[in-house]
Amino acid sequence: MSATTSPSGNSSGRASVPPSGPASARPTGPGDRGHSYQGGKGPRVRPRWGRIALVAGGVAVILALVGGIFAVNYVSGIDKDLKRTNAFSGLSADRPAKTVEGAVNILLVGSDSRDPDTKDDAANAWRADTLMVMHVPADHKSAQLISIPRDLWVVVPKSNDAACSDGSRAKINASFAFGGLPRAVHTVECLTDVKIDNVMAIDFGGFKEVTDALGGVDLKVDQSITSIHKPFRVFKKGMMHMDGAQALDWVRQRKQFPRGDFARMQHQQEFLKALMDKAASSGTLTSPGKLDGFLNAVAKAVTVDQDFSLKDMVLQFRSLRGDNLTFLTSPNKGSETIAGQSVVVSDREKALALFQAVAADKMAEWMAANPVKKS
């Protein structure tokens, strides 16, 4: 698993500002554009998002890898079955045209109203538990998936078409409460200077079926813990085979670990890699019956933007393989208390360099200068 080193830290993971808009101190001016992050079409639809958004990146890759096995009409059939939402509602009209050629940037999002940590009276509240930018270079032979801590202290623009500096500071997961998915897209674009081409989200409950369709996955448990969620499963240190319910329970744990959300992000990345490895090695890709069941489970689990094309993804990612994925975490300085909230503070200089490389499609050069530890 690839990952930049993130300082230890634990945080609440919940935005404490009201849904009417950010209530934190206002930014100082246009110079804030993109800097608080450092370091690290049609009617609006309101689907239920999954907590493990980064898994959606793996789904995109897997769909692309296996799509070519079937006739184009089969791929088109899956495309038609995907749930869609207007992820770019209200954003500026000067967005880059989507093409099959060139680099691709996909925003992966997760938020789950059925989270067991949610109080009953807040069951419908929007929260972003995971954000990730997936960058596929122009040669389409590799991909870098950059996890964004959900408690990262950023400037959230006051509207979907507001200037990037015209907003207030809050945790990045608060952007959903203020303006739904489009506001999250706008916030990420402002803070990274990276234009998003597509958006993918995943339904938490649905992905249990995706995992089970593969017969479960093997995950490394780095320390023995008891889940804080019913039925209070025990996870013993070492390699464990987990079904969908067990795996999703494992990657939701954070309070038992000194590194809190950073440990959870690592476990989510490991889960994604395990899913992709299992899909490639278990005969799923070569068995029409298994593959059909797997793809149908995936189609039910994900929600994409209105312009997302599975057919294009097959063309774009046909040379991409699991070994060519690199997992990163937006550079940050760990947790601090600001305005009475436990937040993650970005490492300005390192994050700017990283996202400039993404925007310029020069991640190969960036990774050569910043070696990423692999496991």
Name the most confidently modeled range: 39-43, 85-89, 123-127, 267-271. Answer: 85-89
> What does the pLDDT look like over 277-334, one tens digit per residue?
777 676 666 666 777 777 777 777 778 899 888 777 766 676 666 677 888 889 999 8
Q: Contact 115/51 with Cβ under 8 angstroms?
A: yes
- Rounded CA-CA distance 39/350 in Å is 6
Q: Is the pLDDT of residue 157 over 90?
A: yes
**Torsion angle (degrees, nearest 10) of CA 205, 136, 359, 270:** 50
- Nearest CA among 200, 196, 173, 191 for reference residue 355: 191
Cis ω before 18 (30° cut-off from 0):
no
More confident position, 148 or 77: 148
Q: What is the mean pLDDT of residues 209-227?
A: 90
Largest CA distance in the chain: 58
- Nearest CA among 247, 325, 328, 221 for reference residue 51: 247
Q: What is the mean pLDDT of residues 95-104?
A: 73
Residue 203 pLDDT grade (very low, low, confident, very high; cuts 50, 70, 90): low
Q: Is the pLDDT of residue 82 over 70?
A: yes
DSSP 8-state class, residue 51: S
pLDDT of residue 98: 65
Name the most confidently modeled range: 196-200, 272-276, 291-295. Answer: 196-200
| Chain mean position to CA 197 | 14
Q: Is the pLDDT of residue 113 over 50?
A: no
Chain mean pLDDT for the chain: 74
Residue 112 pLDDT grade (very low, low, confident, very high; cuts 50, 70, 90): low
**Torsion angle (degrees, nearest 10) of CA 264, 254, 130, 81:** 80
pLDDT of residue 373: 67
Residue 182, phi then psi, degrees to nearest 5:
-60, -40
Would the pTM count as exceeding 0.75? no
- Nearest CA among 131, 140, 243 for reference residue 196: 131
CB half-sphere exposure, 180, CA atoms < 13 A: 16
Query: Position 354: which residue type?
Result: L
pLDDT of residue 246: 93
- Rounded CA-CA distance 176/277 in Å is 32
- Rounded CA-CA distance 128/111 in Å is 4
Token duo for residue 332: 């940050």
Strand stretches in 137-203, DSSP E: 143-148, 153-157, 167-171, 198-202
